[in-house]
Amino acid sequence: MLLAGRQQLVPAQPVLTIPVRVSFATHTTVIDMSGQSQEGRDRCASIAVGSSDTSVVPGKSDSAARAVLPRDRTLRRAAELAAAGIIARDQASSLERVGAAYTIAVPATLAALIDPDDPADPIARQVVPDVRELAVLPEERADPIGDEAFSPVRGVTHRYPDRALLRPVLACPMYCRFCFRREVVGRAAGSLTPAELDAAIGYLRDTPAVREVILTGGDPLMLSARRLAALLARLAAIDHVETLRIHTRVPIADPWRIDAELVAALRPGKPVWLSVHTNHARELGADAALGLARLADAGIPLLAQTVLLRGVNDDPAVLEALFRRLVALRVKPYYLHHPDMAPGTAHFRLDLGAGQAIYRQLRGRIPGHALPTYVLDIPGGAGKVPVEAPWVRELPDGSFAVTDRAGREHRYG
């Protein structure tokens, strides 16, 4: 039974309007982001945010009650999700246990995209906790891609000779329920101290093989524009560092953060590439499009990373819509990641064979520049490989042999 009712939170202009669960539902047709009529799973909540004008296309309930959230509000507890109508109230106590294990953060932007009448809503599935997260399988790992095994100093992962990761913060504007760093993100002690940041930059400065520094986390764009500018300037001052890259969810979760000050911070004198994590075309509404346009208009090259997720985008048509939308927004789809062996994420994973079948259907269906590389991060730290021959081959027992870049073979599945 769907939940009826609504909550009014103290509004701060502008606000986002969120459809709330009601006790009845009728199917309606809505308009997606491209203006084409479209039904079912590809529904798009269309948000127009200004100083006083906001709107959301409701889901399946024409007369849905609504909760009003300030656009800077983030829902961080299951009880808040219930009060906003995103989950049923009788789910809150069990989902609080999930939140105690893995941090919850649903920003107003994403909450406004959720259709609470749809139990398979692809946005909700990414951000709303699920009791299945408490079931950890033997093959799942706290550090599924082996970051720590390649960490010479805190905050740095140096797995490949010519590039290294720098994790200045472990905070995010939203917490994905499938995150491969879910054991560490959202923790108060996760960000680097000034001394730790100095040590990390010192390592990068003293390692001339490093030609690219990739800022990840957490989300580096959670730093203030002033702190981000200072950090990028320090990295750009290292002679052998040629390019910088930033992995972020901010254009999706908090697009208003992308203002003139932040854009200026992203121009430290050396090229900065921005890689945006997005998994469904409905995430790329009007506000995300404006944020991405500010970046593209400033000459910042934009890439996209997507995770192939059961129940979210494990459908060629859904991925096609996403990749076409990204290209229209001047974003190059870069990687399609097979989901990692993170704890409590088995309900998101499909097997490699199913992923290959989906990817094959995309070839020839969309132009080459819209097709990302489908990759697997080999568990334990052996690095990424394309999910195709000769890197991956199926074995008679249904598992897969995966060959890493050093020629070592690993069993997967």
Q: Is 406 exposed, middle or buried (0-12, 13-18, 19+ CB in 10 A)?
A: exposed
The yes-or-no answer on residue 53 being catalytic is: no
Out of 60, 181, 249, 349, pick the active-site residue.
Answer: 181
Catalytic residue among 179, 254, 287, 334: 179
User: Which is the catalytic residue, given 154, 160, 227, 365?
Assistant: 160
The contacts of residue 374 (CB under 8 Å, 6+ apart) are: 308, 336, 338, 355, 356, 359, 386, 387, 388
Nearest of 64, 55, 62, 57 to residue 84 by alpha carbon: 64
Whether 160 sits among the annotated catalytic residues: the reply is yes
Whether 377 is catalytic is yes
> Residue 315 and residue 313: Cα distance in Å, rounded?
5
**Rounded distance, CA 19 to CA 57, Å?**
9
Of these residues, 71, 115, 172, 203, which one is catalytic?
Answer: 172
Q: What is the DSSP letter of 289?
A: H
Measuring CA to CA, how many Å separate 116 from each of 41, 54, 79, 96, 247? 13, 19, 15, 19, 29
Distance CA 129, CA 105 (A): 10
User: Which candidate in 77, 89, 154, 163 is catalytic?
Assistant: 163
- The count of residues in the chain is 413
191 SS3 class: coil
- The catalytic position among 21, 121, 125, 176 is 176
Give every CB contact of residue 387 below 8 A, 6+ residues apart in sequence.
Answer: 338, 352, 355, 356, 359, 374, 375, 376
Max CA separation in the chain (angstroms): 63
Query: Is 163 in the active site?
Result: yes
172 catalytically annotated: yes
Catalytic residue among 115, 257, 340, 359: 340
Contact assessment for residue 286 and residue 292, using Cβ atoms and an 8 Å cutoff: no
Q: Which residue in the list 42, 130, 254, 377 is annotated as catalytic?
A: 377
Q: Is 44 a catalytic residue?
A: no
The question of whether 294 is a catalytic residue gets the answer no
Give the active site residue among 121, 334, 384, 412. Answer: 384
The one catalytic residue in 66, 159, 167, 177 is 159
Query: Which residue reads 């948000």 in tokens?
Result: 47
> 179 catalytic, yes or no?
yes
Cα gap 41→54, rounded to integer Å: 23
The token pair that represents 370 in the structure block: 């819209």
Beta strands per DSSP E along 104-169: 106-107, 156-160, 163-166
Residues with a known catalytic role: 159-160, 163, 172, 176, 179, 181, 340, 377, 384
